[in-house]
A = this chain, B = another copy of it.
């Protein structure tokens, strides 16, 4: 059901339904959504969007009315909702009630939501990190990258990130505590840039971009290195994917390269939440968001992800409580 203005929205859920009617407060712009706009090459873990139907994505919402026993009017929740002012959510079981409100509510689209668990599980479960190892994060100021770098620092790793503007590189070095950072757009030779940052090689690469960066990383990996493949944002708008040429390094360096998605780690969310909320309160983790105001700005905010226009996690503020 699509409600484009609040005037059209119902005030109640239909009689006898167990749906939940919510007012959308924050909508999340995430790179995986691009995949839902293409005919999938193969069965994917998310369905494609249906042209003409409302776009769905993660969001933070306030319950207006509920036919479901777990939710009542006034509850704050996060989960899958529609890109609209009000949404009638017909399968509300996947909604998560917001427990802590001493942090910005928008954090539940980022550090305390899907990108946060992606960074946490991807780094700890897929990268097998050890204290003192060298970690490289691409798209490092993004929703996931900024957290991976901070998790790696908390573990005692040496962390370098890359991003596409001076402002982002400054954030990495001066706000998120990366040991070093570089602007990949100013490097004529990515292989040389990585060699300069990691003279003894990379133990762990947290892959967010793909393409030429991956080829350069492969040449700079250390023996028994790990590559967690989280995203390939440089590739999502290409009709033919860039080629990767240096996979032979997987053999000579005995590299493990592993893809993952956050839904496989949902069971870890409760422990993740308790850990991260405390880190936030203690100032051990910080989070930078790029919030635009108004649902009319949502499409351009989403598109901006693919040219790196956002600085930090891209959020759309649709309404205030």
Query: Interface residues, chain A, CB within 8 Å of chain B?
Result: 35, 41-42, 44-45, 210, 214, 219, 229-232, 235, 240-261, 264
Contacts and interface: CB of A to CB of B under 8 A. Distances in A.
Contacts of A231: 251
Nearest to A263: B254
Given A219-B41, A243-B245, A249-B42, A256 B256 contact: yes
A261 B252 CA distance: 7
Contacts of A261: 251-252, 254
B219 A247 contact: no
A244 B253 CA distance: 19
A229 B247 CA distance: 9
Contact of A242 (B44, B245, B254, B260): B245
28 contacts: A41-B219, A41-B246, A42-B219, A42-B249, A42-B252, A210-B247, A229-B247, A230-B251, A231-B251, A232-B247, A232-B251, A240-B245, A241-B248, A242-B243, A243-B245, A244-B244, A244-B247, A250-B259, A251-B261, A253-B259, A254-B258, A254-B259, A254-B264, A255-B259, A256-B256, A256-B257, A257-B257, A257-B258
Given A219-B41, A219-B42, A243-B243, A235 B248 contact: yes
A219 B260 CA distance: 16
Given A257-B257, A259-B254, A241 B232 contact: no
A223 B273 CA distance: 27
Contacts of A41: 219, 246, 248
Copies in the complex: 2
Nearest to A251: B259
A241 B251 CA distance: 14
A24 to B, nearest CB: 27
Contacts of A257: 250, 256-258
Nearest to A238: B245
* Interface hub of A214, A229, A253 (most chain B Cβ within 10 A): A229
A175 to B, nearest CB: 28
A232 to B, nearest CB: 6
Contact of A241 (B229, B230, B246, B255): B246
Contact of A256 (B219, B253, B258): B258
Contacts of A243: 242-245
A209 to B, nearest CB: 12
B255 A258 contact: yes
Nearest to A223: B45
B259 A252 contact: yes
- The winner among A240, A249, A258, A260 for most chain B CB atoms within 10 A is A258
